[in-house]
């Protein structure tokens, strides 16, 4: 082994050890964590699905982010990966015999401003989740953040880019929500 090869081996082995040690666990090799064996009701009210946030000022320009529509399209498919049976309902009272009722609430939306059309901007969406058991007792509350980056776009593409960054950040939020729920011991305890 040459001196360069031995130095490369010394640098490579610790890097691989850190990568293996920090890799997320997924149960068996390459599989996602198991779903909760629960009947869940996801409450997506018409008001939630129509939520819009307007940010900015008259001087800097106001922007409206239609987060509700994108959230209602993204949350249900993502959460179906976490629960064996998930039903979408319009109101908490329509949850029927669900063992867990999932209630999302938008907390805030934050977007960076850019100077140029091709500058990257970031959108962060915060949602507070409340999970209730069959007796309507709150068993879990958590705030989840979804984020995405995309360029601002010029006069012609700014609207399309704004819609895309909203969709991307809410897809990330949905994915993060499912992961956080799967990690919640309080929801896991409902299975027993």
Residue numbers of the domain that contains 153: 33-191
Rounded CA separation 26/19 (Å): 15
- Is 16 among the domain residues? no
Examine residue 18 and state whether it is found in any structural domain, yes or no: no
Q: Establish if 116 belongs to a structural domain.
A: yes
Q: Is the pLDDT of residue 79 over 80?
A: yes
* Per-residue confidence (pLDDT) for residue 173, from 0 to 100: 96
Let me know if residue 151 belongs to a domain.
yes
Find the CATH number of the domain harbouring 98. 3.30.160.150
The domain total for the chain is 1
Mean pLDDT, the chain, as a whole number? 82
For residue 117, is pLDDT > 90? no
Classify residue 1: in a domain, yes or no: no
Condensed to tens digits (0 to 9), the pLDDT of residues 13-68 reads: 443 333 333 334 444 555 666 889 999 999 999 999 999 998 876 666 688 889 99
Q: What angle do CA 151, 146, 58 make, to 5 degrees?
A: 55
Judge whether 24 lies within some domain: no
DSSP readout, 104-148?
EEEEEEEE---SSTTSEEEEEEEEEEEEEETTS-EEEEEEEEEEE
Percent of the chain with pLDDT over 70: 72
Is residue 82 in some structural domain? yes
Q: Give the pLDDT of residue 181.
A: 96
Percent of the chain with pLDDT over 90: 56
């Amino acid at each position: 082994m040459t001196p360069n090869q031995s130095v490369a081996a010394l640098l490579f082995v610790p890097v691989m050890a850190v990568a293996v040690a920090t890799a997320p666990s997924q149960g068996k090799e390459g599989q996602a964590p198991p779903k909760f064996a629960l009947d869940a009701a996801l409450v997506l009210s018409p008001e939630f699905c129509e939520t819009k946030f307007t940010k900015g000022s008259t001087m800097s320009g106001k922007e409206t982010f239609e987060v509700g529509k994108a959230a209602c399209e993204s949350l249900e498919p993502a959460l179906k990966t976490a629960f064996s049976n998930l039903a979408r309902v319009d109101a908490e009272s329509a949850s029927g015999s669900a063992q867990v009722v999932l209630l999302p609430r938008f907390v805030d939306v934050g977007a960076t401003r850019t100077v140029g059309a091709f500058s990257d901007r970031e959108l962060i969406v915060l949602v507070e989740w409340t999970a209730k058991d069959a007796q309507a007792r709150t068993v879990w509350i958590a705030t989840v953040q979804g984020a995405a980056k995309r360029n601002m776009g010029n006069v012609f593409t700014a609207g399309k880019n704004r819609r895309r960054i909203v969709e991307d950040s809410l897809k990330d939020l949905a994915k993060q929500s499912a992961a956080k729920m799967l990690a919640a011991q309080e929801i896991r305890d409902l299975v027993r």
